[in-house]
Structure 1
Amino acid sequence: MRRWRARWRAPMREAPRRGKVLRCVAGILLVALAIAACSDKGNAQEAAPKVIGDTDLDALLLKPEQVNTLMAAQGMTPHPVVTVMGDHRNLLPNLNCLGVWQVNESAIYGDGWTAMRQQLLRSPDADDWDNLVVQSIVSFPSEQDARDFYRQSADRWAKCSDHNVNINLNGQQLPKWHSGALTESNSELSMPFTRSAGEQVRACQRALAVETNVIIDVQACKPAASDVTQATMVADTIKAVIRR
């Protein structure tokens, strides 16, 4: 009797999966790299310096009620916003003092700026005012451009401390002006001055600050014997708004 023997067959081997595994790993790496690239791009965008656009300048000017509070005054009447530089170099050709004597002078700013907003507020709203503020914001193409202007202004202001301005225009005496000492930091200049027109004497302060790509140019005046720091207060308030 013949015995039946089952033939042994080797089990079938699965096709090598190494290629699939490598392809999966490569795919995962590509996804991870893409996510990392997006994350780096996002971080770079967050780290980019804030740039103030020309259309943002109006919103940075302080409201009359804010100016009232800073000046400890009432009824500070706003005048229309100005968007062009003044030009008084014919009255004061000394460029070291022109930019301190007046806010936003074209001979001082040149053609490197892109846009500006300036507003005068005073109380009472008359030529014999007691309280006055001129606030302005000037934008530049970049933060470096604004800082270059700030450094140039610091050099000029330093040459105008303890200086008299006495101008007679067409036989008419303009208000006399005498500057004090310059206070300077890496982002803000300030200088006190006295303005006198006949019996009307006003204690004033000028301030110029840089924040991102803008220059904040401010003048503030109050009745004589006042300790005027409101120009720097206005500038600091505007800087705080920009940093939000």
Structure 2
Amino acid sequence: MRTLRAVVSGMVVAALLLLTGCTGVVTGTAQRPAGAVPDDLPPLRESQLEPLLLSVDDLNEMVNSLTMVLVSDVEELQDNAHVVSDPDCLGSIYSAEKDVYGTGSTAVRDQVIREPGDDNEHWAEQTLVLYPSAAEARDIVGESESKWTECGGFSVAVDDPQGSYIWQVEDARSEGDVITQVVAQEDADGWDCQHAMTSVSNLVVETRACAFGIGDDAEKMAAEIVDRAAKAAK
């Protein structure tokens, strides 16, 4: 498997393989660290979301690819808790998940961009989730940071009709307003993904970038989206 989204396409899941701990519900209280984005930005509206998304050309340039294309563009959250061996680690493995974002969001934009075919060398996902208030958006990031931290150092299995895959979850990092985490797929020749999440005003920004030996592309994606959002909110 080369694409994370391929794990959930047309999924009818068999019994899951429970590999490790990482159990127990973890909650967090979000507190925004000192960062470049002001805390007092006006709230964003749903009509402002589309220009915040990175274009295919933007992403091709960012990850040094020429052929990535848009393969998924949806306005709803996903539900993949049943395909992972530990649902508490769902947010470490997948983006745009209902169990992560809860029921309070008011708008969602989620896009997957990658090279065509099954043997793509780059894969990216960008997710925007809007809330009524900045506090609610920060809470989502805080709760996610707690769960990502608890899942660091564990293995998580994903099971679908195409086979079973195991992801090694690295420790979460927090830098300024952004949390990041890398997951590496076992026996996949170095295929791994960097995951990033942050908030700006009443918007949660979540990004994921995968490649053979990933760098900080997801973090760069999130930073660019946050910059656009901050300018749009002023």
TM-score range, shorter chain: 0.7 to 0.9
**In 2, are the aligned partners of 1:96 and 1:156 still within 8 Å (CA)?**
yes
Aligned partner letter, 2:47: T
Distance 1:227 1:89, change over 3 A: closer
* Equivalent position SS for 2:179: strand
- Is the counterpart of residue 235 in structure 1 residue 222 in structure 2? yes
The structure 2 residue matched to 1:134, chosen from 102, 122, 125, is: 125
**In 2, are the aligned partners of 1:95 and 1:156 still within 8 Å (CA)?**
no
Superposed displacement of residue 94, structure 1: 2.9
**In 2, are the aligned partners of 1:115 and 1:139 still within 8 Å (CA)?**
yes
Distance 1:230 1:183, change over 3 A: same
* Equivalent position SS for 2:41: coil
Q: Which residue of 2 aligns with 1:97?
A: 89
- Is the counterpart of residue 81 in structure 1 residue 73 in structure 2? yes
The structure richer in helix per residue is 1
For residues 57 and 65 of structure 2, the distance between their equivalents in structure 1, rounded to whole angstroms, comes to: 10
**In 2, are the aligned partners of 1:95 and 1:108 still within 8 Å (CA)?**
no
Aligned partner letter, 2:201: T
**In 1, are the aligned partners of 2:52 and 2:229 still within 8 Å (CA)?**
yes
**In 2, are the aligned partners of 1:175 and 1:195 still within 8 Å (CA)?**
yes
Superposed displacement of residue 55, structure 1: 1.6
**In 2, are the aligned partners of 1:162 and 1:180 still within 8 Å (CA)?**
yes
- Is the counterpart of residue 147 in structure 1 residue 134 in structure 2? no
Aligned residues: 193
Q: Which residue of 2 aligns with 1:190?
A: 180
Q: Which residue of 1 aligns with 2:102?
A: 110
- Is the counterpart of residue 221 in structure 1 residue 210 in structure 2? yes
Q: Percent identity?
A: 23
* Equivalent position SS for 2:81: coil
**In 1, are the aligned partners of 2:84 and 2:159 still within 8 Å (CA)?**
no
Q: Which residue of 1 aligns with 2:159?
A: 168
Unaligned runs of 5+ in 1: 1-46
**In 1, are the aligned partners of 2:128 and 2:204 still within 8 Å (CA)?**
yes
Unaligned runs of 5+ in 2: 1-38
Superposed displacement of residue 82, structure 1: 0.7
User: Larger Cα Rg: Structure 1 or Structure 2?
Assistant: 1
**Higher relative CO (CA 8 A, sep ≥ 6), structure 1 or 2?**
2
* Equivalent position SS for 2:74: coil
Aligned partner letter, 1:92: V
For residues 227 and 125 of structure 2, the distance between their equivalents in structure 1, rounded to whole angstroms, comes to: 18
Distance 1:76 1:111, change over 3 A: same
The Cα RMSD (Å) is 1.9
Superposed displacement of residue 117, structure 1: 0.3
Q: Deviations over 1:25-61 (max 9, x none)?
A: xxxxxxxxxxxxxxxxxxxxxx962211112111111
* Equivalent position SS for 1:141: coil
